[in-house]
Amino acid sequence: AQRVTQPEKLLSVFKGAPVELKCNYSYSGSPELFWYVQYSRQRLQLLLRHISRESIKGFTADLNKGETSFHLKKPFAQEEDSAMYYCALSRGSTLGRLYFGRGTQLTVWP
C-alpha cells in the first residue's frame, strides 16, 4: 500500500524567512512525487514534480529515497506564497491516480 504524510497541518513564517513543508511517503516501488498548491478559493494546480528537478516560484523539492521524503523548500518566503500545499504520489501501476497527503496550510506574515 502507499501513504503520503504531511505532518504539519498549519505552518506560519514571516516574510523573508526560509520555509520547509514536510512530506513523507511509504511505497515499496518507485513513485513519482508531486507538490500541488491551492490558493484561496482557487483550483489546485501543479507546483512541481520530482522528475523535472526544476524550481518554480523559488520552490524546490528533492526526492530522498533513503528517508522516503519529498520536502518542499523556499529560502525566502513571500506573502503570496500563503496557500494550501498538497504532496501527492503516483504509482506506475495505476496511471492517472494520485494519492494525496492531508495538506499543509502555509501562512506568510508581513
Name which of 85, 106, 89, 80 is nearest 25 in CA terms: 89
All three cell numbers of 35: 507538490
Look up residue 61 and give its three cell numbers. Answer: 523539492
List 29, 66, 96, 110, residue binding another protein (CB under 8 A): 96
Q: How far is the CB of 82 from another protein (least distance, A)?
A: 17
Partners of 25 in beta bridges: 4
If one asks whether residue 27 binds another protein (CB under 8 A), the answer comes out as no
∠ CA(57), CA(60), CA(64), 5° rounding?
165
**Does 31 engage in binding with another protein (CB under 8 A)?**
no
Residues 34 to 73 in contact with another protein, rule: CB under 8 A: 34, 42-46, 49
Please identify, using beta-carbon distances, which residue of 44 and 60 lies nearer to another protein: 44
Q: Is the distance from CB of 71 to CB of 23 less than 8 angstroms?
A: yes
**Binding-site ranges for another protein (CB under 8 A):** 6, 9, 32, 34, 42-46, 49, 86, 90, 92, 95-103
